[in-house]
Amino acid sequence: MTTRHFLTLLDLSTGELEQLIQRASELKKMQHAGEIFEPLKNQVLGMIFEKSSTRTRVSFETGMAQFGGSAIFLSSRDTQLGRGEPIEDSARVLSSMVDAVIIRTFEHQMVERFADYSSVPVINALTDDYHPCQLLADMQTYVEHRGSIRGKTVTWIGDGNNMCHSYMNAALRFGFHLNITTPEGYEPKSEVGQQPATKTENRTSSFTLMNDPIEAATGSDLIVTDVWASMGQEDESSTRNEVFKRYQVDSELMSHANSDALFMHCLPAHRGEEVSAEVIDGKQSVVWDEAENRLHAQKALLEFLLSQ
Ligand code: CP
Ligand code: NVA
């Protein structure tokens, strides 16, 4: 049996991802109907967190409990990993005891090194470069509200950060066009755009960098933003607040998107910074469904990875 990991969206094929999103909606219906479904009885998820979290921690822990398994929260403050035990050693030891591991950390390379030495699936619960679990929930949310995202236009506005990189991967896998608008110097890493489509997908990367937020939002089906200073960039907050001012998603900007456009934000949000209260609390915003779907999408992911 091969161990599959989920470090970026590109670890799964388009077909696998589309099936996973569909399964997430099924699991959601089952859970809302009060159906007990425990495919992971006696299985244990190790959860390593080197950064804060509300949604990711609670959705994975709850998902494991609903599936009949359990989860162990491992804060870097309390583990030997946090005191310098090599990643490779930690990976070998932990994966000899638990059935899957999720990791939220800084350098993306850390999850890659951990996965290289892990005998069980490793899931990226956010690194400085990617946040693939969030994209599963975002894609599920879009599909539930509007149907297929294939061929649609999505606009990323704000920082070219981990979420933006995962949106670039999603454009490739789910077949939508991504407009990216960031202040100069805050563009996404260029190497993310160079990851090739797999042969069977016969598709090329589909994103455009734009300077003007209004131009980027025009004709868009989905507007997405995120905080201007991510975890680890707290010191840059005041500089970034100045630089990013023009990139707030407000009602004026939303008025340039298609009339049925949705608004998403992975949360936590800062009203009055990257998004106005009017937009995030308004009719086009689906942020609460998006947050809830973390639970269902990750249950589908756990079921998929643990049944390989
Ligand atoms: N969106 C997200 O990952 O939220 P948390 O940081 O609360 O986990
Ligand atoms: N870009 C944000 C996402 C938080 C879920 C961060 O990395 O802090």
Tell me: do 219 and 142 sit in the same domain.
yes
Query: Where is 288: in which H helix or E strand?
Result: helix 287-306
* 4 within a domain of the structure (yes/no): no
What percentage of the chain exceeds 90 in pLDDT?
92
Tell me: do 276 and 252 sit in the same domain.
yes
Rounded to an integer, what distance in angstroms lies between the CA atom of residue 285 and that of residue 264?
6
Rounded to an integer, what distance in angstroms lies between the CA atom of residue 49 and that of residue 140?
25
Tell me: do 299 and 271 sit in the same domain.
no
The pLDDT confidence band at residue 255, using thresholds 50, 70 and 90, is very high
104 is catalytic: yes
Given the residues 23, 43, 66, 134, the one annotated as active site: 134
pLDDT (mean) for 38-65: 98
Distance 211 CA to ligand 1 centre (A): 28
pLDDT (mean) for 232-260: 98
Tell me: do 222 and 299 sit in the same domain.
no
Over 70: is that where the pLDDT of 18 sits? Answer: yes
* 263 within a domain of the structure (yes/no): yes
* 77 within a domain of the structure (yes/no): yes
The pLDDT confidence band at residue 190, using thresholds 50, 70 and 90, is confident
Tell me: do 141 and 276 sit in the same domain.
yes
Over 70: is that where the pLDDT of 303 sits? Answer: yes
φ/ψ of 20, rounded to 5, equals -65, -40
Tell me: do 175 and 58 sit in the same domain.
no
Tell me: do 191 and 278 sit in the same domain.
yes
Tell me: do 88 and 213 sit in the same domain.
no
pLDDT (mean) for 37-58: 98
* pLDDT confidence of residue 97: 98
* 1 within a domain of the structure (yes/no): no
* 167 within a domain of the structure (yes/no): yes
Q: Tokens in use for 36?
A: 């007990």
The pLDDT confidence band at residue 28, using thresholds 50, 70 and 90, is very high
Number of other residues whose CB lies within 10 A of the CB of residue 150: 11
* 281 within a domain of the structure (yes/no): yes
Q: Tokens in use for 148?
A: 């297929």
57 is catalytic: no
- pTM higher than the cut 0.85: yes
- When mean pLDDT is compared across 60-64, 73-77, 90-94, 116-120, the lowest value belongs to 73-77
Q: Looking at the DSSP assignment, which residues form a beta bridge with residue 158?
A: none
Tell me: do 263 and 140 sit in the same domain.
yes
Rounded to an integer, what distance in angstroms lies between the CA atom of residue 36 and that of residue 248?
43
* pLDDT confidence of residue 201: 47
The pLDDT confidence band at residue 203, using thresholds 50, 70 and 90, is very low
Tell me: do 269 and 141 sit in the same domain.
yes
For residue 62, give the CATH number of its domain.
3.40.50.1370
Question: What residue ranges line ligand 2, CB within 6 angstroms?
Answer: 126, 131, 161-163, 226-227, 230-231, 266
* 3 within a domain of the structure (yes/no): no
Rounded to an integer, what distance in angstroms lies between the CA atom of residue 272 and that of residue 283?
17
133 is catalytic: no
Instruction: Look over the chain and give the mean of its residue pLDDT values, rounded to a whole number.
Output: 95
Query: Where is 165: in which H helix or E strand?
Result: helix 162-174
Distance 19 CA to ligand 2 centre (A): 26
Q: By residue range, what is the domain housing residue 75? A: 9-130+292-305
CA dihedral (306, 46, 4, 143) positive or negative: positive
Rounded to an integer, what distance in angstroms lies between the CA atom of residue 240 and that of residue 229?
7
Angle 201-204-207 from CA coordinates, rounded to 5°: 130
Tell me: do 139 and 280 sit in the same domain.
yes
| Mutate-to-test residue for ligand 1 from 75, 140, 293, 294, highest number of ligand atoms within 8 A of CB | 294
Tell me: do 97 and 44 sit in the same domain.
yes
Task: Say which DSSP state 81 is in.
Answer: G
Angle 83-88-93 from CA coordinates, rounded to 5°: 85
* 2 within a domain of the structure (yes/no): no
CB 95 within 8 A of CB 116: no
43 is catalytic: no
CA distances from 14 to 24, 193, 198, 208 (A): 15, 17, 9, 21
What are the percentages of helix, strand and coil residues in the chain, rounded to 5? Answer: 45, 15, 40
How many domains is the chain partitioned into structurally?
A: 2
Query: What is the amino acid identity at position 37?
Result: F
Rounded to an integer, what distance in angstroms lies between the CA atom of residue 222 and that of residue 245?
21
CA dihedral (285, 289, 292, 297) positive or negative: negative
